[in-house]
Amino acid sequence: MPKEILFFPDKNFSFKNNFFRLMNLLITSHSSSLLEAITTLGINHLQIISSFFAKQIKVFKPDKYKSDYVLYIIESILRFKDLFIHNYFGLQILNLVILILLIIFVLYFFLKIYQINLYYYKFTISILNFFIKIFVFYLYNICLDISFSQMCFGKKDYNPNFEEEIQCFGNNKFMIIIPILTIILSVFIHQIIRLFYYENFFISVFFFAKLNSYYDIFMDINFLINSILLTQASFLNRKFFLYYNLIFSIFIFYYYMQNYIYYNTYINLSTGIFHLIYAWTSIFCLICSYINFEEKGLVYIITCIIAGFIFYHLKKNLRKKMFFEISITKISNINYL
């Protein structure tokens, strides 16, 4: 994004200039600690991993083992749709409320573009920044899951995502418009934020400042495909979900290790650990879909802790080697440090 200091407000209204000015204000006024940045990013990463814990995937058995039940509760909280497995009407109401809130946000955002001036209210910026963080790191995947779970991509008469006998696309055909509009609006808002709400300056205090890369494009595509395969696992077969995630998780882990896109060392480290655990989760769950044993959840948690510990120490030793044994001119990406 262009970084221009505007000492005098432009008297002639320009939607483009005002839009970029607002986005610059949002980024430069983005107040968050390193702990908050890692936490919000961690929640977003856990949402992806928790999709493996869903009942539709049938890897873990929450009705039989306590550790599996703990993982199922985590998935229900992070992805939300399974909290309404017995209440389809409540899910529809929630979907409608989310759609209304998204519309209000879009209208509010456009209103602020028209009203922006040199002496802009910090309170308004704080509201917009808060919603953007909530939406990008938590609400986006929930919007997709809630919307796609009301659809059927198969030939069954009833929707298997709910315990009630709900016809595919709902008993009221008109209500299917709500999840479709929610998906369209959610993707639109998310892409606008992805394209313009970022910082690529090396000396930026913005913790999510990063290199220009295809990483966000890959992850955004994954959000959509992952949500579809998860909510439609009963129609499309859970193996599609497992094999897709195996391929993608290994690819994105390799891509990230080659690029290290974030400038902040701790953000890079936490994201690297996530991608390693994501790849391991895909391998573990695919193996468990063929081999059955007790307390898979406990074994999975222990192996994830070990994997994260190993990655941390390997990265730590690699940094020492780069500092003391490798010439700086031979390091292709300074973010490896």
Residue with structure tokens 């369209």? 184
285 falls within a domain: no
Q: What is the pLDDT along the chain (337 residues), one digit of tens a residue?
A: 444 444 444 555 577 777 777 777 776 666 567 888 888 888 999 999 999 998 888 888 877 778 888 888 998 888 888 888 788 888 888 899 999 999 998 888 888 777 766 555 566 777 788 888 888 888 999 999 998 888 876 666 677 777 766 666 655 666 788 889 999 999 998 988 887 776 666 656 667 777 777 888 899 999 999 999 998 887 778 889 999 999 999 999 999 888 878 887 888 888 888 999 999 999 999 998 888 887 888 899 999 999 888 887 777 655 544 443 444 444 444 444 4
The pLDDT assigned to 21 comes to 75
Give the model's pLDDT for residue 84.
83
Task: Look at the chain and report how many structural domains it folds into.
Answer: 1
Residue 66 has a CB neighbour count (10 Å cut-off) of 10
Determine the Cα angle at 1 with ends 221 and 116, to 5°. 105
Q: Decide: residue 73, CB within 10 A, 0-12 exposed, 13-18 middle, 19+ buried.
A: middle
pTM across the whole model: 0.81
pLDDT at residue 201 in the model? 63
**What is the per-residue pLDDT for 317?**
58
- Of 30, 18, 1, 25, the C-alpha closest to 129 is 30
Q: Is residue 50 part of a domain?
A: yes
| Residue 42 forms part of a structural domain | yes
Q: What angle do CA 39, 41, 42 make, to 5 degrees?
A: 60
Q: Which domain holds residue 133?
A: 15-239
Would you say residue 125 lies in a domain?
yes
pLDDT computed for residue 322 by the predictor: 43
Closest CA to 42 of 196, 266, 254: 266
SS3 assignment, position 275: helix
Q: Note whether residue 128 is domain-resident.
A: yes
Length of the chain (residues) = 337
pLDDT of residue 171: 57
Query: Is 100 inside a domain boundary?
Result: yes
The separation between CA 246 and the C-alpha centre of its own chain, rounded to angstroms, equals 18
pLDDT of residue 2: 44
How does DSSP classify residue 169?
Answer: T
User: Tokens 């966000």 — which residue?
Assistant: 216
- Assign 209 to helix, strand or coil: coil
Could you tell me if residue 134 is inside a domain?
yes
CA torsion, ordered 250, 256, 259, 264, to nearest 10 deg: -160
Answer yes or no: is 55 within a domain. yes
3-state secondary structure of 167: strand
